[in-house]
Amino acid sequence: MSFREKHLWISIIGAVGVWGFYFWSVGTRVARGELRADDFAGDIGGLFFLCLVGVVVLEIVLTLIATATTSKVDKTSRDEREIGAALKGSHVALMTLTALIMVLALLVYLGGLVGGNLVEGRAGYTTDVNAMVLLANVLVACLVLAETIRAGVTLALLKGLR
């Protein structure tokens, strides 16, 4: 397996493992109705920071292992098929990210139309601060999903070219 393929697997493992845990944790807190809690933003911010550090450490350690277990030729050579697969994977990820952001923008706009019914009001589901934290998390989820798709599509194309 080439170094680039190993690195794609590292990206997938980090995204699914660390970010999967993070978004599962956020989702369970939202499902329990904690969006109105005063400590929601702080707790989620702390968990986000820990997961960010965790994914960086995980990727550094796994990249060092991949570097040590890959020959020098496999690390330096990059042919046209690898470049083409990377471009196609990036294109699919960009289109996915664009679609997700457009849907999110529409949902935020529609949410703004109902205003005080969802946020802060007597029957509100969340506070202004927690709504922004939730929106930021949805944006990060869009980025993580797009990056995972990029790595997966590129890996699939590389495997198909062998």
How far apart are alpha carbons 147 and 140 in whole angstroms? 11
Confidence of residue 16 (pLDDT cuts 50, 70, 90): very high
Rounded Cα–Cα distance for residues 52 and 143 (Å) = 13
Alpha-carbon Rg of the chain, whole angstroms? 20
pLDDT, tens digit (0-9, with 9 covering 90-100), for 34-75: 888 888 889 999 999 999 999 999 999 999 999 998 887 666
44 half-sphere exposure, CB direction, 13 A CA radius: 26
What burial class does residue 122 get, using C-beta atoms within 10 Å of its C-beta: 0-12 exposed, 13-18 middle, 19+ buried? exposed
- The residue ranking higher by pLDDT, 126 or 1, is 1
Indicate the SS3 state at residue 63.
helix
Q: How confident is the model at residue 148 (pLDDT cuts 50, 70, 90)?
A: very high
Q: Which structural domain range is residue 40 located in? A: 3-161
161 alpha-carbon distance from chain centroid: 27
Highest mean pLDDT among 84-93, 114-123, 127-136: 84-93
pLDDT tens digit sequence for 79-91: 788 888 889 999 9
Total domain count for the chain? 1
**Prediction pTM value:** 0.79
